[in-house]
Structure 1
Amino acid sequence: MEAILLETFLVVCETKNFTTASQILFATQPTITGRIRALEDYLGFELFIRRKGKKTLTLTSRGKEFIPIASRIIKLYEDIESFKNTSYNSLTISTIASYATPVVANICKKMNRDYGTNIKILTYQTREAYELVLKKEIDMAFVSQEIPTAGIEIQPLFSQKYYLVTATDSNSSSNFKSINLKKLDYSKEIFLNWDAHFLKWHNQFFPHPKLEVDSIQLLIDFLKDTGYWAIVQECNIPVLLNTINLKIYQLPILPPTRKCFILTNQFPDKELILVTNKFITVCKEYILQQFNALNPLF
């Protein structure tokens, strides 16, 4: 049963006249009478009493009984259309651990707060993330490597520098221009393996670290003890400063800057297009606001 037949029936019920109904529905009178006849044929009973010479229509008893049913069906059609046209507003996102806080967390907070987006955040390594995006098991992923892959769109987001940090007993943190790498106590390094480029640079100066961690929380626990130091991404420093005061040093010989890329499937499901585009827009807005720590790559 077509919705237009029910809509026509309800309008004719209100106007009690085919001519007036045709004007309201922007259709010819023969079209209106044809729709009513088609609906009656479908139902198997007459809806209106037709009298020659009478312009006003009268509902049959079955016609009166059918009004609430037709209204409910029309409401159901409207609900279906509304459901179809409501944009999907959920995302499953992957990030490597080193970008989770504060970058990805802050972007997701904004999406949830400003747009009501439901977000599930998972942690996967870069190569796993490529595979999951390709299989559409996750919608988007933040990674640190650009690996050209058929079916995946890779967008560069930002790069950032590294700094050497160590805890201080002072009541406030301080920044220093540079530090002599040769004067460092290598046994006190808390090593974080940021990526292959960083590892290659690191091994030129500190080839055999005694302590290695893979999370910022573990790093904080070690830094609280005197003498420990670590080389961190610039975006990690605000997280550390929430817990401990730091001496922050520039490195005299810089490692390659670390880049962040966002992955999406090249052929996304239609319902994801609006929300993924909005998410990427919010990402870029956030990065531009963090110009002191993140260098935009777009």
Structure 2
Amino acid sequence: MTHTGIEAFLAIARCKSITKAAEVLCICQSSISIRLQNLEKELGEELFVRQKGHREITLTPMGEEFYPLALQYEKLTEQINTLCTVHRKRLSVSALNSIGAYLLPVSCEKFMQKYPEVELNIQDFEVEAACKSILQGQTDIAFNTESANSDKIVTTPVFCEPMQFICSLDSGYGQVVVLEELSVKKEVFVDWFVGFSEWHGKCFGGDAFPQIRVNIMSQLKLFAEKKNNWAIVPRSVAKGLCEGSRLRICETDFELPKRQINCLYAKDRKQNVYASSFMDCLNEVLSDLEASEK
């Protein structure tokens, strides 16, 4: 009997759907079905009633008996993971690529200077994978633009930063960029947060499609440095990209949105003692960034 099998069983029981459970666990439907089949084979009985035409699946009598035992197993596993985390000098932090590339390195450096004995593990996760890792006790805190997809995870706003316009040093844009002079065909587009594409459509037109779309910061820098290419990026990314590169920051005659960053962590698990210390280091970096803009 495996941890993944029990995890799959509980997810299906809670979602009452194999498809939805697969989405919660960030795996394909065939994988969760195989996990369930292997568990049922080991137990010698089916755990769910499968009826064609029914949108929700229900527990069999065996499933009803097994469910509280699976909950006990889940709780015990969480307690063991918490015990290991508390006594081991380790902190696991997850962040989006854009946060991890420019904000976290300085925060991590400050943290390691203060706590050289702590093993710091940095992960690059989207929100679904981050939530799964938090629930499994493998990630202590995660930074994301989205909220948690589980009521077992707390979502707390950490900071909000303005977006800025960047372009290459040899581009023909003035220090104040006028909306009408911009061609979306020259834009290097990143879908920074939920709602950014909607703002973009209202600002530049719903039929305006950028020629280049990227997700990785190194790719953004490569294309943004091309003459007359441009991008709209969060302030921390703009500052990081422009240092020692052929890029510059310009003001705009149109209003740019802001990006909110949230901190995600487990609701019922005792928080890693070093998590708050890491947050202090991050806040120092944010304060320095704010001061540099004045």
TM-score by length of 1: 0.62
Structure-2 separation of matches of 1:224 and 1:211: 13
For 1:92-141, what per-residue CA distance to the aligned partner results, in whole angstroms no more than 9, with x for missing partners?
Answer: 11101111122112111111122112111111112321232123221110
1:96 corresponds to which letter in structure 2?
L
Structure-2 separation of matches of 1:264 and 1:175: 44
- Provide the residue aligned with 2:140 in structure 1: 139
Cα pair 1:166 1:247 within 8 Å, conserved: yes
- Provide the residue aligned with 2:223 in structure 1: 222
Change (3 A) 1:292 1:175: farther
- Provide the residue aligned with 2:283 in structure 1: 284
* Equivalent runs, 1:1-298 vs 2, <5 Å: 88-116=88-116, 117-147=118-148, 149-169=150-170, 176=175, 178-204=176-202, 205=204, 207-269=208-270, 273-292=272-291
Larger radius of gyration between Structure 1 and Structure 2: 1
Cα pair 2:164 2:256 within 8 Å, conserved: no
- Provide the residue aligned with 2:40 in structure 1: none
Same amino acid, percent of matched pairs? 21
TM-score by length of 2: 0.63
1:242 to partner: Cα distance = 2.5
1:198 corresponds to which letter in structure 2?
F
- Provide the residue aligned with 2:41 in structure 1: none
1:292 to partner: Cα distance = 4.2
Gaps of 5+ in 1: 1-83
Cα pair 2:127 2:148 within 8 Å, conserved: no
Structure-1 separation of matches of 2:108 and 2:224: 28
1:246 to partner: Cα distance = 2.8
Instruction: Give SS of 1:254's match.
Output: coil
Gaps of 5+ in 2: 1-83
Structure-1 separation of matches of 2:98 and 2:284: 20
Change (3 A) 1:278 1:234: same
How many residues were matched structurally? 204
Cα pair 1:92 1:121 within 8 Å, conserved: yes
